[in-house]
Structures are given as C-alpha cells and as structure tokens.
Amino acid sequence: MSINNIGRDIKALRAKRGIGSRELSRLIGKAETYISQLERGLIKKLDYTTAYAIMKHLGFTESGIDEFLDSFYQIKSPARIEVEVEAEQVENWDKVRAAEIEQMWIQRQEDIDTDPDYQERKLAYELKGFESQWMMNQYEKMEEKNEEIKKELSFNINKNMQTFEPVINNLYNLLTSMRDDRSSFEFFVGLFENDLSTLSKENKERILKTVKEETDKYN
C-alpha cells in the first residue's frame, strides 16, 4: 500500500479513538500539523520509527506493530531490512555455490568417463551389485516360503494337536542338533533337497518303514 493509504487509515483509527490530529502529532514528537499533513497525503515518505509511534499511540499492541506495518504498508524496521538483506545474500551465495558444485561434478564425470581403470572398477562393482540383488531376491522368496511353512504347521497343530505333537518335537530336535552336528545338517539337507511330494504312496511307506526301523534301534 502507498503512504496515502496509511494516512487515510490513521485518520479513521484516530477518529474512532477520539484523538485529535494535533494531540497525536504532539504524542509522537512532531509539529502539530504533521498528522494532518500525513492524512491528506502531503507527506510522501513515512519512516518506520514515526509509523511505529503512531500505531502505538493509536492502541496497537507493540509486539505486533512491526509485522503489521510490513504486511499492510511495506514499512520495514531496520532489523527486518537487515534480516532480509542477509537472507538474500545467503540465497545468492547458495545459488553461486550450487553452480560451482554442478560444474565440478560435470568435470569429474568427464574425467572418470575417460579413465580406463575407473571403467573396469565400475563394471566389477555393477556385476557385484547385480549378484547382490539376485541374492536378495532369492532371500525374499525363501522368507515368503518360510512364512507359508509356519502357517501350514500352525494349521495342522491346531487341527491335529495330538498327532502333531511328536512331529513338532522331533523336527525341533533335528533342527537344533544341526547347530553342533554336521551329519544332522547333511541329513536334513539331503532329505529335503529332494521333492518328497512326488514319491508314490508305496515309496513313501517304504521310506517310513526304513526310518522307523533305524530309529527303533536307538530307542
């Protein structure tokens, strides 16, 4: 807003509060005709200190005057001007620094793109990353199947608790024995690296019979 706007606003506020123009002029330490001239647009420039004093004597809360003058009339305090100048300088510095960094990055890319040793190392790294990603994918798939196994076991335990109690106990014993017994590990892997679900009923029964005969020898 222009100085004329604040002049008209001061006149409206002054009249509402019942303060004469001469009285307000004296309160802010100006000549008795100052406020009248300001209100009629004869004063073309209003400094922050005077504007602050006017608003204060018109009843504005001091803590809010600075923001009010800047927002409505673009009258800035020296402190606000200093902060904005510093912010602008920082912004300009950031832009200059960003441009310098971008230029250094471009130059670096140009240098390394022509370096045969770097290209060789880059290829090796990319191959390693590819291998790692492949391993991560395999791990995620195994984790998904592991969760499915847990669900199937839980389902059968809930439905066939008495039948499954020795199954779970013996599975637990075999798995925990693998920590210290390499042969248990090799037996477990050797057993389940084959798809046992494809065996015929007769073959399954024969395997179960053999396992039972062997375990009975030690029980």
For 3-26, the pLDDT digits (tens) are 558 889 999 999 999 999 999 999
0.85 surpassed by pTM = no
Task: Give the C-alpha separation, 32 to 176, whole Å.
Answer: 99
User: Counting runs of H as helices and runs of E as strands, what totals does the chain give?
Assistant: 10, 0
Range 164-175 average pLDDT = 85
Tell me what pLDDT residue 82 has: 84
pLDDT averaged over the chain? 83
List, for residues 55-66, the tens digit of each pLDDT value: 999 999 988 999
- pLDDT tens-digit map of 86-143: 777 767 777 767 777 777 777 777 766 676 776 677 666 666 665 667 677 787 888 8
